[in-house]
């Protein structure tokens, strides 16, 4: 079967760095997405990786290793507003999205 694994919850301190991991086993691969979802709000697109390596976008970076079936989302200079759930999703060989259950990130002052 197809599976996406990510930690259920993480806690970090304001101003610090946190890395949220995502491992996947899917039938084919056509890219990996990260979405951010604040409580009671819509998920919003953060990043898309289809080639190996690191993609940097401001304080957020996303890394992909296709050979390892692994990605991480790196958040730097954490702010209280970064408290949210972070959803990992992989597009399979049919371009259908397989979703992880999300990682709830709690930022403490």
Partner 1 sequence: ETGVTQTPRHLVMGMTNKKSLKCEQHLGHNAMYWYKQSAKKPLELMFVYNFKEQTENNSVPSRFSPECPNSSHLFLHLHTLQPEDSALYLCASSQGDLAGANTGELFFGEGSRLTVL
Q: Which residues bind partner 1 (CB under 8 A)?
A: 4, 8, 30-31, 33, 35, 40-45, 48, 50, 87, 89, 91, 95-102
Q: How far is the CB of 17 from partner 1 (least distance, A)?
A: 25
What's the token pair of residue 33?
């997405």
A 10 A CB-CB count for 80 gives 9
Q: How far is the CB of 76 from partner 1 (least distance, A)?
A: 23
What's the token pair of residue 105?
């990130």
> Nearer Cβ to partner 1, position 32 or 75?
32
> Nearer Cβ to partner 1, position 16 or 106?
106
């Amino acid at each position: 079967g197809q599976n996406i694994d990510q930690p259920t919850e993480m806690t970090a301190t304001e101003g610090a760095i946190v890395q949220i991991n995502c491992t996947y086993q899917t039938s084919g691969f056509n890219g990996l997405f990260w979405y951010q979802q604040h409580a009671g709000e819509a998920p919003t697109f953060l990043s898309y990786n289809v080639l190996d390596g690191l993609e940097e976008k401001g304080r957020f970076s996303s890394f992909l290793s296709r050979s390892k079936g692994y990605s991480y989302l790196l958040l730097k200079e954490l702010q209280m507003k970064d408290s949210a759930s972070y959803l990992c999703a992989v597009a399979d060989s049919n371009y259908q999205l397989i979703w992880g259950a999300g990682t709830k990130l709690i930022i403490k002052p």
